[in-house]
Amino acid sequence: MEKEKADCFTCVHFYITWDRHFPYGCRAMQFKTRNMPSADVYGASGKKCMGFKQKDGLLPRRIPRS
């Protein structure tokens, strides 16, 4: 089973903070983090981010497999 993570860069709730220690944020989940918010959500719950909402007019980005 492939792990699917939401792409924060295409989410309406994602933002870049001014905090250099926690540069990424999620308005839906109301937290700031060093990692991508979706990665922290997946790490804590084992589930894909439930707050993800695609930005209007964008196609989903292709995330390379590692």
**pTM of the full structure:** 0.74
Give a yes or no: residue 60 inside a domain.
no
Q: Give the pLDDT confidence of 23-63 residue by residue, as tens digits.
A: 999 999 999 999 999 999 999 998 888 889 988 876 666 66
Mean pLDDT (the chain) is 85
Give a yes or no: residue 64 inside a domain.
no
Average pLDDT of the residues in 4-24: 90
Give a yes or no: residue 40 inside a domain.
yes
**Integer angstrom CA distances of residue 22 from 1, 58, 59, 62:** 31, 26, 27, 25
Give a yes or no: residue 22 inside a domain.
yes
Give a yes or no: residue 21 inside a domain.
yes
Report the pLDDT value the prediction gives residue 31, as an integer from 0 to 100.
Answer: 94
Report the pLDDT value the prediction gives residue 55, as an integer from 0 to 100.
Answer: 87
Report the pLDDT value the prediction gives residue 56, as an integer from 0 to 100.
Answer: 85
Give a yes or no: residue 55 inside a domain.
no
Considering its fold, how many domains does the chain have in total? 1
Q: Give the residue numbers spanning the domain of 39.
A: 8-45
